[in-house]
Chain A
Amino acid sequence: MRLYAMAVYLFLYIPIGIILLFSFSAGRSASQFEGFSLQWYGKALSNPFVMDALSTSFTVAVISAGIAGIFGTMAALALQSMRGRMRLFFDALIYIAVMVPGIVIGIATLIALVTVFGWLNPLLAAIWPEGQVPPQMSMGYGSLIAAHTLFSMALVIIIVRARIAGMDRSLTEASSDLYATPFGTFRQITLPMIFPGILAGVLLSFTFSFDDFIIAFFVAGSETTLPIYVFSSIRRGVTPEINAIGSMVLIVSLSLLIVAQLILQRGRTPRS
């Protein structure tokens, strides 16, 4: 049994080992080790496009996870006390949002937005005051964040709802029996109890957005996220710079993961 587990871990880590190994290569090739060097880390860190892509990915991931966290939690709270057709309709939407493959979401968003912009831009130009440059709507940060938030929001709603379902109702009831305002009840009872769910949802959303390639590939317009940069570089013939980027992302996310784990453990409320 233990041997089997070791074999699986080996399977999981051989590629990681290769990525790390070649990130220290002195040569230009990512498949032939030519002596130890840290130069590719320096190159990656001083490459403005890597840093740009990294900051784009980070910004998009933070904003979309934030929006998804807030709006998703709001929706989850509303849905818990809703019944009937509206509830079924929302359930279906969430179900579809999770089920439809990312590639279809990407393509659908692209052609829908291109079509809508195709109508809106001339319209804007027509109604815009004389002598001023009318805004041109195009794919970019906005479409990227909007598309990522869609999936993330569905994720947050599902996780937070599961948390609410496992919540002890008697506490909120007691709170309102004691004449606490609804908001007071929310702030003091509900929020602390569902918070680990929200956090888990937001973290997952961040990860999803940060790592997503296929949706961004279609809707990013002129923006370059880190996965798009990596994809384009792989075509150009990989230098160990890519390995260095991968290794750094790995190390940073590993530290994030450990921090998140610590927070989650501290925030974990005892379940009744």
Chain B
Amino acid sequence: MSRKSDFISREKFMQELRRLEKGSVTRRHFLGVTGLGAAAAVLGATMPGLMPRRAFAAGDIGDRVVLATWPNYHDPANFEAFTAATGAAVQVNVFGSNEEMLAKLQAGGSGWDVFVPTNYTITTYVDADLIVPIDTARVPNYDPAAFEARFAAPGTVDGKLYALSKNWGTTGFCVNSKHTGGVKVETWKQFWNMTMDGFSGRTMVHDYQLTTIGNALKYFGYSFNSIDPKELADAEKLLIDAKPHLFAINSDYQPSMRNEDAWMSMCWTGDGKQLHTDLPEIEFVIGREGGEIWSDFYAIPKGAPHLDAAYALIDFLMTPDINKKEALAHGYPVADSRVNAMLPPELLNDPILYPAADLLSSLEFGAAATLTDPNRAELMARFKSA
């Protein structure tokens, strides 16, 4: 009853935002196509076979496990529950970029047991012999059939499974509509132009190359993943021109957006959702020109000091009802249909999490080449030191 009225008011709210109203039909279409829709929800909830098996606490796994992950990406209560169930405390190391994770692993002795790489980095880790294949027998709660292929597939390299799908999402931007003067913001072109105009001193960009350069490339309509020198030169010029107008170059934008030091920032889905939930005037926008769609994974680095605990933690987080709590806390979409079956429909209908198909189709997955391309790395460094 209350859920229904919530749903209606939600729909009304959506109507006020034209973009969302338009999206609702195609979104349902998208959900149907991808198997994440209401049908799956009804089906899943009634099937007891989908309930979690608690196999993660078998035997003594030691007293700690170290997880390297991203900001605002977990429900702290789940870690407490894991510690209570297994006796292993979870140390969470938060990183700002895949480059930084790679650098730390390349230097050796990271001490991590589990880390969270993004789709486009996994082949590089495999090539550099930095991660080990996952022994699925030790992750009984992982069910490959439950995962949507296009988000889970990058975890498999050369036929071997190296990483298990954690979440997927998009990278757009969030904008505080109090300051837009009623103008509808929906493109990267507007993002950059506003930064250099009315939003001067109020915009944040990520502190890593993929999205900052990629979304500057989108201004010109180039591919998000371009490594073409001429196109990169255009992006560099835009970035250098915009730099004096930026509030900060920082991947941790939530605090600044919340206290209104910043009005607009490049933004990952879940952060957009968290911000919008707490402060409805902050909207999440996927640029019409495109941008990034990504999926994150759990993986185990080579030489993980607490291997048993690593498997136990991954298995724990793969448990559908635990993963459901994670999703409710961080707001990122999950590729696991067992989890989606348990999530409230308003979440599955949320246009921030599940954008309309026409928006989604223009997005690109990050390409492995961008991670190791020296020109993109150096361009980013020049931009930062300019």
Chain B 87-121 interface mask (CB, 8 Å, partner A; 1/0) = 00101111110000000000111111000000000
For B111, give its contact among A117, A221, A233, A236 (CB under 8 Å): A221
A residues near B292, Cβ cutoff 8 Å: none
Q: CA–CA, A128 to B88, complex, Å?
A: 33
Question: Distance in Å from the Cβ of B267 to the closest Cβ of chain A?
Answer: 15
A-B CB pair tally, cutoff 8 Å: 48
Task: Verify B109–A139 contact, CB threshold 8 A.
Answer: yes
In angstroms, how far is the closest chain B Cβ from the Cβ of A66?
24
Whether the Cβ atoms of B110 and A222 lie closer than 8 Å is yes
A44 to B72, CA, bound (A): 20
**Is A224's beta carbon under 8 Å from chain B?**
yes
CB-CB nearest in chain A for B88: A48
Closest to B72 in A: A237
Is there contact, CB below 8 Å, between B64 and A48? Answer: yes
User: Inside 8 A of A139's CB, which chain B residues have their CB?
Assistant: 107-109
Chain A 103-120 interface 0/1 with B at a Cβ cutoff of 8 Å (1 = within): 000000010001001000
A49 to B64, CA, bound (A): 9
CB closest chain-B residue, reference A238: B255
Contacting residue for A237 out of B66, B112, B254, B303, CB 8 A: B254
Interface assignment of B305: CB less than 8 Å from any CB of chain A:
yes
Task: Report how many residues on chain B are interfacial, defined by Cβ distance under 8 Å.
Answer: 24
> DSSP majority for the B interface?
loop
B64 touches A237 (CB 8 A): no
- Tell whether A80 is near chain B: CB-to-CB under 8 Å: no
A138 part of interface (Cβ distance < 8 Å)? yes
Whether the pair A223, B111 counts as a contact (CB closer than 8 A) is yes
Sample of 6 A–B contacts (CB below 8 Å): A31-B255, A138-B109, A222-B109, A236-B71, A237-B71, A237-B72
Known contacts A49-B89, A232-B94, A235-B96; is A117 also within 8 Å of B108 by CB?
A: yes
- Is A140 interfacial (CB-CB < 8 Å)? yes
Cβ-based interface call for B259 (8 A): yes
Number of A positions contacting B (CB below 8 A)? 19
CB under 8 Å from chain B, chain A span 114-172? 114, 117, 136, 138-140
| CB pair A110 B252 closer than 8 Å | no
Q: Which of B63, B108, B303 has the most CB of A within 10 A?
A: B108
Chain B contacts of A223 at CB under 8 A? Answer: 111
Complexed CA–CA distance, A267 and B64 (Å): 45
Q: Which residues of A contact B94 (CB under 8 A)?
A: 232-233, 235-236
B93 touches A221 (CB 8 A): no
Query: For A49, what are the chain B residues with a Cβ–Cβ distance below 8 Å?
Result: 89, 91
What residue in chain A is nearest B254 (Cβ atoms)? A237
B-contacting residues, A215-271, CB 8 Å: 221-224, 232-233, 235-237
Chain A residues near B259: list those with CB within 8 A: 31
Taking the closest CB of chain B, its distance from the CB of A226, in whole angstroms, is 14
The answer to whether B66 and A232 touch across the interface, beta carbons within 8 angstroms, is: no
Report how far A139 CA is from B106 CA in the complex, Å. Answer: 12
